[in-house]
Amino acid sequence: MQYAFTKMHGLGNDFVVFDAFTQPLRLAPEQFRLIGDRHFGIGCDQILLVEPPTLPDTDFNYRIFNADGDEVEQCGNGARCFARYVRDKGLTEKQEITVGTRAGIIKLFVEADGMVRVNMGVPLLEPGRIPFVADRQAADYPVEVLGETITLGAVSMGNPHAVIVVDDLENAPLERIVTALQQHPRFPQRVNVGFMQILSADAIALRVFERGVGETLACGTGACAAVVSGRLRGLLNKSVKVSLPGGALMIEWADEQAPVLMHGPAASVFEGNIDL
């Protein structure tokens, strides 16, 4: 059967988006893997489904599948693409869009210049809710990795993130640490791993390795988690420019009771049909 899709990206973090709002769409894990395959399919970091609302007072439901077929809770760059998609396709004329996800409700704001602002909600910091195995909540945690002790922040933005501060993003042994952390028993649902280089109190550089995907050109929830972790450690101000390999996001976070706000672009690349 043929399915229409739109290829989109947010700072190079790329997605295949399907309309499951106007027509039913059920795909198996092996079909998601085919779609995500960059050699035999369309190729993307994640597949996004636009669905009818399932929660009260929401406009849509938003589901996210990694290229390996696993469903995940949240994706910030995908949320911006979601907002552009539903407006470009005439599914809504609203500028403020309320969307249900596996992680809860988020609010998307499409601005006049085409940029999208996302209210990502209040971050989860209690270890059991991330989930992360620890006796108590802290700004950072010592974790044994590859025979050494590293210090990391643990934050959930609807999906779990480990945030590690490094002096040099280009020369740190990132891949070795990622592989060990994603199999670490203290992260029972695996983890997205971000490496943050502090440029100033208002600016960071960031590389993120996502569960089931690998390193991506940008990660919206990873950018949010990095700023939250940096602020908890007293390293960052409340408004921070996050430079990722694919471009920059602006992230704002006032305090532990406040939602995280993300501001950045979203773009359509092409449309097509795929036989599944």
Q: Is 138 helix (H, G, I), strand (E, B) or coil?
A: coil
Q: How many Å separate Cα 163 from the centre of its chain?
A: 14
Q: Residue holding tokens 């959930």?
A: 156
Q: Which amino acid is at 237?
A: N
From 44, 81, 219, 224, active-site residue? 219
The annotation status of 77 as a binding-site residue, yes or no, is yes
The annotation status of 84 as a binding-site residue, yes or no, is no
Q: Which amino acid is at 175?
A: E
The annotation status of 119 as a binding-site residue, yes or no, is no
From 44, 75, 81, 224, active-site residue? 75
The annotation status of 54 as a binding-site residue, yes or no, is no
The annotation status of 13 as a binding-site residue, yes or no, is yes
Neighbours of 135 (CB within 10 A): 7
Q: Six-digit token pair at 117?
A: 């602002």
Enumerate the H helices of 116-256 as residue ranges. 174-182, 220-232
Active site residue 224: no
Active site residue 81: no
CA distances from 163 to 54, 57, 144, 225, 232 (A): 32, 34, 15, 7, 12
The annotation status of 129 as a binding-site residue, yes or no, is no
Q: Is there a contact between 192 and 130 (Cβ–Cβ < 8 Å)?
A: no
Q: Is there a contact between 220 and 79 (Cβ–Cβ < 8 Å)?
A: yes
Q: Six-digit token pair at 118?
A: 């996302």
Q: Is there a contact between 67 and 75 (Cβ–Cβ < 8 Å)?
A: no
Q: Six-digit token pair at 99?
A: 């969307």
The annotation status of 43 as a binding-site residue, yes or no, is no
Residues pairing with 162 in the sheet: 154, 193
| CA–CA gap between residue 274 and residue 4 (Å, rounded) | 7
The annotation status of 211 as a binding-site residue, yes or no, is yes
Going by the DSSP 8-state scheme, the letter that residue 127 receives in this structure is G
Q: How do beta strands 46-51 and 13-19 pair?
A: parallel
Q: Show which residues are catalytic.
A: 75, 219
Q: Which residues are annotated as a binding site?
A: 13, 46, 66, 76-77, 159, 192, 210-211, 220-221
Q: Which residues are annotated as a binding site for substrate?
A: 13, 46, 66, 76-77, 159, 192, 210-211, 220-221
